Amino acid sequence: MARPKKVTKFPYMEVKRANERLRKLETVNRMAQSSEAYKSIERFATDPNSSSYKFYREKQNKDGSPGIRFMTGDEYYKLTRYEQMRFDEIVKNFLESPTSYKTGIEVVRKKNYDKFMKNHPDLHWSQEEYENFWKNYSQAQKDKEDVIAYSMLTQVFNAVTPYSNNLTDNKIQTLVHYNNKELRYSEAPSKTTLKTRKFKE
C-alpha cells in the first residue's frame, strides 16, 4: 500500500515576519525602492505571467498606499507540493536577504559607496551625493532621450582606461549631457537600434 504524501505545513511565523518587513519597507522606513529584495518581489507580484505570481497578494496599507504581501495559509494549501516548496524557499530567501530590512539596506548602501569611491578616488562625493547621482541615473535610463548618454556613461564606469580612472564631477556632467550628434562612441547603440530591439523584445 502506498504511503500517503506528507502534507507541508504553512510557514505561518516566517510569513508573518516577512509580511511585517514588507509593510515597514512600504510605510515606516519608506525604503521599498531602495531594497533589491523588495523590488524582486514586486517584479514577480505584478507580472501575471510569472510562475511566482500566485505567491503574493495585493494589500492596501493603512495610509492608503498599495502594498504587497505573501499569500495566506488558505491559498497556500491550494498549491501543489512543488509550489509549496518553492514558496517556502522564496520566503526564506527574502528573510535572509540583507536588503529586506532597514539596517541591512543601510549596510549594503555604505559598502557600495565605499567600493565605488575607492575605484574612483578623483570624485569627492558624500554618500548622499553618490546616492542622488545613481537615483537620477536610474530615472534617466527610463527616459528614451537619455538612453544613449547613459549607455555611454555605464561603459565609461566599467571600462579600465586612464579616462575612467580619472573621473571628476565635471567630466561626469559632460558625459551625462552629451547628445547623439555630439557623441562619437563606436559601441554606443543608435536610437534606431534601440527602437528596433524594443519591438523585437
pLDDT tens for each residue of 4-51: 455 689 999 999 999 999 999 999 999 999 999 999 999 999 999 999
More confident residue, 198 or 5: 5
Position of cell 532597514? 102
Position 187 scores a pLDDT of: 41
- Cα–Cα distance measured from residue 166 to residue 87, given in angstroms and rounded to the nearest whole number: 47
* pLDDT for 119 beyond 70: yes
Position 201 scores a pLDDT of: 37
Q: Tell me the CA distances in angstroms from 104 to 23, 59, 145, 198, one per residue in order.
A: 16, 24, 35, 35
Q: 185 with 149: CB under 8 angstroms?
A: no
pTM tops 0.75: no
Q: 152 with 175: CB under 8 angstroms?
A: yes
Taking all residues of the chain, what is their mean pLDDT, rounded to a whole number?
80
Would you state the cell numbers that stand for residue 83, as one nine-digit string?
509550489
